[in-house]
A and B are shown apart, each in its own frame.
Chain A
Amino acid sequence: MIKNELYGWTGKIIWVDLSSNSIEVKSSKPYFEKYLGGRGFAAKIAWDYIKPGTGPFDHDNVLMFLSGPLAGSCAPYSGRGIVCGVSPHSSPEWFTRSGFGGHWTSELKYAGYDGVILTGKSVEPVYLLIEDDRVEIRSAQHLWGKGTIATQKMLINELGEGIRIMTIGPAGENLSRLAIINTETESAAGQGGFGAVMGAKKLKAIAVRGSGGVNVAHSGRLIKRSKQIAKIIMGSHHQPKKGTLDKEKVKKYGEQFQACTQQCMIKCIHSKYYRNVPGCVYQKEYSGQLHCVSHLFQGDKNMQLYDWDIGFEAGFEIAQIANDLGLNHWELIFGLVPWLRECKQKGILGFINNIEINADSPRFWIELLNMIAYRNGIGDILAEGGIRAAKKLGGTELIQKYYTAWGFGGHWDGHADHANYIVFPYWLVTALLWATDTRDPMSSTHGYVQAIMNCSPLAQDGGVLNLKQILSVGKYLYNSEKAIAPDSGYADKEIPAVYHSHRSVIKDSLLLDDQIFPVMFNKDEKDGIPKAGDIKSSSFEYHLFVDTTGLEMSEGDFNKAAERIYNLERLIQIRNYKRDRRKDEEIISAFEKEENWENQVLGEKYSLNVKEFKKLLNRYYELRGWDPKTGWPTREKLKELELEDGVNFINERLKKG
């Protein structure tokens, strides 16, 4: 029996206008069923409040920090949050998103809120303090100019233990398009440049502490289900290698497991804590975490584009300084630095601010980070991000090698990203996901391509699944073996592309960890399909959602909500940025060159066949209920998704021709 109170969600969102110093608490209830939480709420708010023409640094840009119904509960891998708004990092500047970990989102729920929405700009630097019913805009004069770590420590000193903080460093203050919003030592909203949006609003930090909790509708059921799901993931997750500690690093630097996010129930292969690591450039010691991306600051001699070799200590120092300055790791490692190296090789650029471009020199890295964060000299141009910097510095013909589309570095695409091993035909799904997304489609690609490339017989270490299991999962999830078979070419790739873009919406809305969900495989099952008690993998998210919220919603309606959110995001793109099929097809050129690795089953390297891909794109739009000519959702689809505003909008647009 459900009591008359809210479960999962708190039902409240804080709206702050920094220009007028006004704070209002509004109900989030109208968004529950149709928009789920997180990314879904953000899409609705953006549709209602972000007008066409709004730039990232404009007064009217709406910066949102959102949690989801599961955050703070025992649901496994549920501690993440999401930042949304008009992005200065994306090219063009448009509405997009960036997820983050840590403990901040759960704390926001314990304080009683589903999200914080910010508009306007403050004249003086401020920070927002949220402690249960107390919400205050406070002066941040004393924090301005400080790094993200120092800011957090100062606020903890002032406000006491247990306070969780999202903050920007000098990069955000100086409006670098590489600016992150950091929490703890290294849990950041990294992509999107949203740190600069905070900087433009003169908002240094949001500090949260809550004394409440998250009501769970069916607590016993959620506990049981969470344990079942966590057990599968801990046992035979799609990252089959389990985290281990390096004995030497344990002895030298106290290496230990440290969850990057609340409610992470796995021994991570990446997320570790180290203490007192000596610097190579500065005479000091550093302590903090390393996550998945920052391990690469030290370089890897086996990875073609990232084969600098500066050692663990220098890599660690660079990572911690990047965290403190508030800079985007992905952009630096996968974009700017490899591009600068090639610019040097090709004689386009040899020095930046009199520092020789040399990724094998720790000093070069540190100087680079500082000049970007403070916009010193050429750093002022590099702070614009690789795509924009190349236009000013030269090297535009080289840049696409590193940046797939929309201003973002390569990611699981088999072309620009040389770290994540992926072969044809799987990157066709990545290409479809890039085509209709607004950033690198990270959380979607982690589902399909990452799981397949890490587990299938094609995996570099031989994989843990046999082909029969892979095909069985294809049949189960996509009703098609061709959608997943290693020799299936362009056939049926539209099906996983649509499916995983919706799974991405679900995990960004509840929110659930993007590396873990959707749970694709279980090597211990003969048919490869993960099962938790009486439910199968594609229903995991739905059951965690209804067990927590107590909402009487069918699984069909739950999945339809994800499709609604994806379509509403598309409508924002069409209305605010004139997005259409022609724009989507801009991603094609990034896939036309030969792929980075070879599919052993096919025995040769492939590049994108444009004619075949355009046919695939047709099938993708049709499967979505979008018009293949325009790439717009049809009115029938929007009616089906109960997006009445969208129907009216499309009607008007069509009338105008």
Chain B
Amino acid sequence: MKRIKFKAGLCQGCMTCVTFCSQKHTGIASPKLSRIIIDPGIFDGKHKATICIQCTKAKCVEVCPNKAISLSAEGTYWEINYDLCDGCGLCVENCPFNAMRYNSREEIPFKCDLCGGDPECVKVCPTNALTLIELSKTGGLNHDKK
């Protein structure tokens, strides 16, 4: 498994990851459609990121009634199979990290798919606040929650 790691102290709140993420996945630049959510820490300087941490034991997978969420072919991230997904939103409600999001216009959930293994947000972050790390087999849930 791989995971995007966020270093709050390096983030400068520029939202570059957010615009690139949403645009890459939907053609629309919008925080509401971004797989990564950033609180730019405007008044307290405390930056927060919300993004799927690719849990080893994933709640979204467990609760999906249609088995629509499964491990990617390379085994690096969880992905939604939209042929199976009926848009019920249970995965969104049950994600302990609020990292599953819902596109109400299209009535489908969405989540970080690491851009297929080479995440755009990591590439464009100007301050290296985002990095891609490889998880050991023991890594996983309750890790790196910021």
Tell me if B15 is interfacial: C-beta within 8 Å of chain A: yes
CB of A507, distance to nearest CB on chain B (Å): 18
Interface residues of A in 255-303 (CB under 8 A from B): 256-259, 261-267, 271, 273-275, 287-288
Partner of A258, one of B24, B31, B45: B45
Q: Are B19 and A258 in contact (CB under 8 A)?
A: no
Q: Are A223 and B20 in contact (CB under 8 A)?
A: yes
Partner of A259, one of B13, B33, B123: B13
Q: Are B45 and A106 in contact (CB under 8 A)?
A: no
Residues of B within 8 A of A106 (CB): 15
With the chains together, A492 CA to B87 CA distance in Å? 65
Residues of B within 8 A of A226 (CB): 20
With the chains together, A230 CA to B28 CA distance in Å? 20
Q: Are B45 and A264 in contact (CB under 8 A)?
A: no
Q: Are B10 and A213 in contact (CB under 8 A)?
A: no
Residues of A within 8 A of B13 (CB): 258-259
With the chains together, A152 CA to B44 CA distance in Å? 13
Q: Are A219 and B24 in contact (CB under 8 A)?
A: yes
Q: Are B40 and A222 in contact (CB under 8 A)?
A: no
With the chains together, A219 CA to B24 CA distance in Å? 7
Tell me if A212 is interfacial: C-beta within 8 Å of chain B: yes
Q: Are B42 and A74 in contact (CB under 8 A)?
A: no
CB of A263, distance to nearest CB on chain B (Å): 6
CB-CB under 8 A for A72 and B14, given A213-B29, A258-B45: no
Tell me if A184 is interfacial: C-beta within 8 Å of chain B: yes
With the chains together, A254 CA to B31 CA distance in Å? 27
Q: Are B24 and A184 in contact (CB under 8 A)?
A: no
CB of B9, distance to nearest CB on chain A (Å): 6
Interface readout for A218-234 with B: 1 if CB under 8 Å, 0 if not? 01001100110010001
Tell me if B23 is interfacial: C-beta within 8 Å of chain A: yes
Q: Are A214 and B12 in contact (CB under 8 A)?
A: no
Q: Are A211 and B32 in contact (CB under 8 A)?
A: yes
* Closest B residue to A107 using CB positions: B31
CB-CB under 8 A for A273 and B23, given A212-B32, A213-B29, A267-B127: no
Q: Are B20 and A74 in contact (CB under 8 A)?
A: yes
Q: Are B12 and A153 in contact (CB under 8 A)?
A: no
CB-CB under 8 A for A213 and B14, given A153-B43, A185-B43, A223-B24: no
Tell me if A314 is interfacial: C-beta within 8 Å of chain B: no
Partner of B10, one of A110, A257, A263, A264: A257
Q: Are B15 and A258 in contact (CB under 8 A)?
A: no
Residues of A within 8 A of B126 (CB): 230, 234, 264-267
Interface readout for B26-57 with A: 1 if CB under 8 Å, 0 if not? 11111111000001111111000000000000
Tell me if A216 is interfacial: C-beta within 8 Å of chain B: yes
CB of A505, distance to nearest CB on chain B (Å): 24
Q: Are B22 and A213 in contact (CB under 8 A)?
A: yes
Q: Are A287 and B45 in contact (CB under 8 A)?
A: yes
Residues of A within 8 A of B20 (CB): 74, 223, 226
* Closest A residue to B15 using CB positions: A262
CB of B68, distance to nearest CB on chain A (Å): 25
Residues of B within 8 A of A211 (CB): 32
Tell me if A103 is interfacial: C-beta within 8 Å of chain B: yes
Q: List 21 A-B contacts (CB under 8 A).
A: A72-B29, A110-B32, A152-B43, A153-B43, A161-B39, A185-B43, A213-B29, A213-B31, A213-B33, A214-B28, A214-B29, A215-B27, A216-B27, A256-B45, A259-B14, A263-B15, A264-B12, A265-B16, A265-B126, A267-B12, A274-B45
Across the A-B interface, the 9 shortest Cβ-Cβ residue pairs: A213-B30, A259-B14, A213-B28, A273-B45, A257-B12, A74-B19, A219-B27, A73-B29, A265-B126
**Beyond A74-B19, A216-B27, A256-B10: 20 further Cβ-contacts under 8 Å?**
A72-B30, A74-B16, A79-B15, A103-B40, A106-B15, A110-B32, A212-B30, A212-B32, A213-B26, A213-B28, A213-B30, A216-B28, A216-B29, A226-B20, A259-B12, A259-B13, A264-B16, A265-B14, A267-B127, A271-B12
What is B's interface to A at a CB cutoff of 8 Å? 9-10, 12-16, 19-20, 22-24, 26-33, 39-45, 120, 123-124, 126-127
